[in-house]
Every structure is written in structure tokens, then in C-alpha cells.
Amino acid sequence: MARRTDLRMQSLVTIRSLLQTMITLASASLGFVSALAWNDAIKATFKKFLPEGESLPALYIYAAAATILAISVVGFLSWVASKIGGEAIINREVDG
């Protein structure tokens, strides 16, 4: 009887792990699709306001704006996570 219970517990752990992996993969892929859509929208905006949309300075401005936006979003999400008691996935050790 104990062996059957152990087998059920292992099955539940395996199923839970599989579901977590599927959620992670789906989130990453949907996030990538969303990022591509935002990329197109931001590029179109830059082309509208900067007539030379494909010029080298315009590409650098776009890259800088995208970097600032990404840093701001990650910083905001980290702040929200710290307020609700979430833990960071990546823990950095500070040399002191």
C-alpha cells in the first residue's frame, strides 16, 4: 500500500513539474510575440517622427529608447515584486 502511495506522489510531482514547465514556455513564447509587436509599433512611431527612419542615428535613438524602456519595466516589476513579497529568480551576491 505504501508503494502505491509513493507512486501517486511521484506522479503528482511529475505532473506539477510538467505543468510548470509548460506555463513557463507558454509565457516566454507569448512574451516574445508581444515584444515583436511592440518592436513594430515603436519602429513605426520613429519612422513617423523621424523622416529618415532607417538612418544610422535613428537606429541608435531607437535602440537607446528601447533599452531605457526595458530597464524601466524590469525595475518597476522588481519594485512591485519586492512590495508584495516576491523573490527574485536571480540572486546576486555583492562582494563586500
Report pLDDT for 51: 67
Q: Which three cell numbers stand for residue 94?
A: 555583492
> CA 39 to CA 62: how far, in whole Å?
10
Residues of the chain with pLDDT below 50 are 95-96
Q: What pTM was computed for the model?
A: 0.52
Report pLDDT for 96: 45
> CA 52 to CA 89: how far, in whole Å?
41
